[in-house]
Amino acid sequence: MVKTLIAFGTRFGATAKSSEVIAEVLKEKFSHEVEVVKLSSETENVDITKFDSVIVGTSIARFSWTKRAKKFLKNDFSGKKLFVFISSAGITYPALEKGEMEKYEKWKGRFLDRVVKKNANVEPTSTAVFGGWMENKGKPGTYSTYNWKEEDAAKWAEEIGKLTS
């Protein structure tokens, strides 16, 4: 049985939701044993040694990763399959949705590829960009942007399942 860790940082909850969807697909369709960890001060020392695959996710806000997800990416992933995703409601995902591939590649390079290359000690097996949501300031529960799609996370989870089985 493949043991998979999903470790994520989130601001508004889209990255957490993507992590849940990925976990469910891996459990149900590929019989993975999955542990999902929201990175926080209480999860500073997550033991990755017992996992075959590690998925790292983060939201992108104000042009940056969540602090703890970026720090987590500095772990030693030698001998593991590493997968990385970002939730980017504001810039990267909208460019992909509109088919503006030059812009998409620019922002994906800045927010995903460059950060992974600089911080991770192994090349990821696969990466993904998902949409997300941003709450309106002063109006909790309402969104200025909402472009998260469950099917995006489920489709990528299927890819991960095939690559790890």
Phi, psi of 141 (to 5 degrees): 85, -5
Distance CA 150, CA 34 (A): 19
pLDDT at 62: 85
> Quick one: angle between helices 14-30 and 150-164, nearest 10?
40
Of the chain, the percentage scoring pLDDT greater than 90 comes to: 83
Number of domains in the chain: 1
124 by DSSP, 3-state: which?
coil
Distance CA 107, CA 143 (A): 22
pLDDT at 16: 97
Give the sign of the dihedral formed by CA 165, CA 85, CA 3, CA 12.
negative
CATH number assigned to the domain comprising residue 128: 3.40.50.360
Each residue's pLDDT tens digit, 100-121? 999 999 999 999 999 999 999 9
28 within 8 A of 154, measured Cβ to Cβ: no
Tell me the mean pLDDT in the region 24-48.
92
Structural domain harbouring 79 = 3-164
pLDDT classification of 47: cutoffs 50, 70, 90: very high
Q: Is the pTM of this model over 0.75?
A: yes
pLDDT classification of 72: cutoffs 50, 70, 90: very high
